[in-house]
Amino acid sequence: MTNGQDMPHQTGEPTDQLTLGLALDDSAVFANYFPCDGNALALAKLTSVGLDGKGADFIFLWGEGSPGLTHLLQATCHQSTALGLGSFYLSLQEVDQLTPDVIEGLESLEVICLDDLDAVAGLAEWEAALFTLFNKIKEAGNTLVIASRLTPTNLPVILPDLKSRLQSGLTLQVHELTDEQKRDALIMRARMRGMEMSPAVGEYILARAERGLPALLKLLDRLDASTIKQQRLLTIPLVKSTLGW
């Protein structure tokens, strides 16, 4: 799915402490997240956030590899915005470019999505700020969605109270797609762009490309542009000429 953003994105009423950052990826929506059986529960829980005006208080997503955690968090924000709810997305991956005060005041928004939590685990100032925010969100009755490569138990968190808070919510594993599912996801995304990709073309790409879904979708961008420019169908010869294989 999509890669994490370096800076925050907020929708809804701004607070004094927040600085708007890069926009959410417009393509990160639930409609184009490939719905494999192993991720059905996570998808169901996230798509229900905000539908009744309130979502689950706390959802913790984790997954190894490239399971599309960022895509799911950003899709949650897109849906929340469409429902008229204030939302906020922030990746903590580039922690050296951020300070903990960026998350102050977020409890005023209905849906807060924090990505790459493992990047700040073990950093005392960040852990204190997260613990404070967690309590304020709970008091406000709003929704917090966190994503990490590690489970709450395995995160190297040093603040015991934060550790217990992280283990208190609904924890869901998000699985990376199998090769067959990645092929089918490519076919689905190609169809959504108006391109027909045969299983043979999908398998040809998967056999030669980097296996992570974000990298595969970048190749799909190039193929999309090539089919439009050359006015040709998406075939193995077109893939070869476009990607230099």
Instruction: Pull the structure tokens for residue 144.
Output: 């917090």
Instruction: Pull the structure tokens for residue 139.
Output: 């008091």
How far apart are alpha carbons 242 and 245 in whole angstroms?
8
How far apart are alpha carbons 94 and 149 in whole angstroms?
15
Q: What are phi and psi of 172, to 5 degrees?
A: -130, 130
Q: What is the per-residue pLDDT across 37-92, written as a single tens digit (0 to 9) for each? A: 889 999 999 999 988 655 558 999 999 888 899 999 999 999 999 999 999 999 99
Domains and CATH numbers, the chain: 9-173 (3.40.50.300), 179-243 (1.10.8.60)
Q: What is the per-residue pLDDT across 127-183, written as a single tens digit (0 to 9) for each? A: 999 999 999 999 999 999 999 999 999 999 999 999 999 999 999 999 999 999 999
How far apart are alpha carbons 232 and 162 in whole angstroms?
55
Report which secondary-structure segment, H or E, holds 126: helix 124-140
pLDDT at 13 over 50: no
List of residues 6+ apart from 237 with CB closer than 8 A: none
| Mean pLDDT of all residues belonging to the chain | 87
Helix pair 40-47, 69-82: axis angle to 10 deg: 30
Q: What is the per-residue pLDDT across 89-141, written as a single tens digit (0 to 9) for each? A: 999 998 888 999 999 999 999 999 999 999 999 999 999 999 999 999 999 99
Helix pair 213-230, 236-243: axis angle to 10 deg: 100
How far apart are alpha carbons 185 and 68 in whole angstroms?
12
Residue 130 CA from chain centroid, whole number = 19
